[in-house]
């Protein structure tokens, strides 16, 4: 053992785990910001081993069997190598040197896969988000007006989801919804305009389309012209890390998630953002969770179909709540509409 200790094994274990898997000829599937592969520690048929290649913390984790391993472990499991063989191959392959292990670097079984480099994504910094966070954002002002919740609860909601206010066109106040992943990286900021006139029949409803601040700030020169933003993660995704054991409720719009969180804070409420975002890559962070999916009335069939092939990700239950409670003829009914009605009645 003494011999190995002269070597800093951390240099080997800090090698980019994605690149190691690629050089060992593994078929990788991209999932959001991660790569997935078939787990060598159990009889895997859907890729469930996630490779985490964040600097300083290279590891892999299987959401199916719970295996949690290092770069060296992965090479050993894939090739059937001994510890020494795996270290020797990794060290030689990546130019660290030859280790005095008395074993030669073995040859991997498969040809290396082409190395697909992830684009260098631009993330929005947390201070940029913090600058915008305020409980005086238009959507929370509507909630205050509804008079159903004490200010502390609305402040809690603002803090949890980092809600903000952004002024556009001189005086229009837009509500800011940050998309933050489980590692605290801000993918983008969605902004939406709401009708804040309490006498309007559309009070609390969205006006116009939503926009993304990342792209707007790139056009303004606040980000470099070549900045690439990730397609959004789920709104509220960072709360999955914070609440690892809670049940999850998944809805379409951020407003639905926020109203839901006020109604039942025991669940973690997330929003996919739009109908088309109900995709494998987007839903991957829900691995292993119990998820109650509450589609808008007009999306129940589409979402039920889309989730049918994704039972390996999470235990999804699709609710027809919005169909049962929608008033006659109202096709666009969602859970926020229901809750707003409910809160107005009392």
Binding site for Zn ion (CB under 5 A): 39, 41-42, 62, 64-65, 67
Give the other-Cβ count within 10 Å of 277's Cβ. Answer: 17
Terminal-residue alpha carbon distance, the chain? 72
**3-state DSSP assignment of residue 6:** coil
CB-wise, 184 or 288, nearer to Zn ion?
Answer: 288
Q: Tokens standing for 132? A: 């915008």
* 138 vs 172: CA distance, rounded Å: 10
CB-wise, 69 or 185, nearer to Zn ion?
Answer: 69
Shortest Å, Cβ 67 to Zn ion: 5
Shortest Å, Cβ 65 to Zn ion: 3
- Kindly tell me the sign of the dihedral angle through the C-alpha atoms of 325, 328, 334, 338: negative
CB-wise, 35 or 235, nearer to Zn ion?
Answer: 35
Shortest Å, Cβ 240 to Zn ion: 20
The answer to whether 203 touches 195, Cβ cutoff 8 Å, is yes
CA-derived radius of gyration, the chain: 24
Strands (E), the chain: 29-31, 34-37, 49-54, 57-62, 68-69, 164-168, 172-180, 186-194, 206-212, 248-251, 268-271, 290-293, 315-318
Q: Tokens standing for 160? A: 């949890």
Shortest Å, Cβ 59 to Zn ion: 13
Shortest Å, Cβ 242 to Zn ion: 25
CB-wise, 61 or 148, nearer to Zn ion?
Answer: 61
CB-wise, 67 or 135, nearer to Zn ion?
Answer: 67
CB-wise, 10 or 315, nearer to Zn ion?
Answer: 315
CB-wise, 71 or 132, nearer to Zn ion?
Answer: 71
Shortest Å, Cβ 45 to Zn ion: 11
* 342 vs 346: CA distance, rounded Å: 7
The answer to whether 267 touches 306, Cβ cutoff 8 Å, is no
Shortest Å, Cβ 66 to Zn ion: 7
């Amino acid at each position: 053992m003494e011999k190995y200790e002269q070597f800093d094994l951390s240099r080997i274990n800090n090698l980019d785990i994605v690149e190691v898997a690629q050089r060992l000829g593994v078929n990788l599937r991209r999932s959001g910001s991660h790569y997935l592969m078939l787990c060598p520690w159990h009889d895997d048929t859907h890729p469930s081993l996630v490779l985490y290649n964040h600097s300083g913390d290279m590891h892999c984790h299987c959401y199916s069997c719970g295996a949690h391993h290092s770069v060296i472990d992965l090479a050993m499991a894939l090739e059937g190598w001994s510890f020494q063989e795996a270290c020797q191959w990794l060290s030689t392959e990546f130019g660290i040197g030859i280790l005095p292990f008395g074993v030669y670097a073995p040859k991997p079984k498969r040809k290396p896969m082409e190395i697909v480099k992830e684009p260098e994504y631009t993330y929005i910094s947390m201070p940029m988000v913090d600058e915008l966070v305020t409980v005086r954002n238009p959507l929370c002002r509507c909630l205050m007006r509804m008079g159903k919740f004490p200010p502390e609860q609305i402040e809690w909601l603002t803090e949890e989801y980092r809600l903000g206010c952004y002024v556009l066109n001189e005086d229009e106040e837009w509500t800011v919804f940050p998309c933050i992943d489980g590692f605290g990286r801000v993918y983008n900021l969605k902004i939406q305009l709401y009708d804040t006139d309490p006498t309007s029949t559309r009070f609390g409803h969205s006006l116009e389309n939503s926009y993304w601040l990342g792209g707007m700030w790139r056009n303004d020169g606040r980000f470099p012209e070549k900045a690439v933003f990730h397609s959004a993660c789920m709104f509220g995704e960072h709360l999955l890390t914070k609440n690892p054991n809670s049940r999850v409720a998944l809805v379409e719009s951020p407003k639905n998630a926020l109203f839901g969180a006020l109604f039942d804070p025991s669940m973690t409420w997330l929003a996919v953002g739009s109908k088309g975002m109900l995709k494998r890559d987007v839903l991957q962070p829900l691995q292993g969770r119990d998820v109650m999916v509450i589609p808008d009335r007009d999306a129940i069939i589409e979402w039920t179909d889309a989730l049918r092939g994704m039972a390996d990700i999470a235990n999804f239950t699709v609710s027809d709540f919005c169909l049962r409670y929608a008033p006659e003829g109202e096709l666009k009914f969602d859970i926020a509409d229901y809750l707003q009605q409910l809160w107005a009645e009392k």
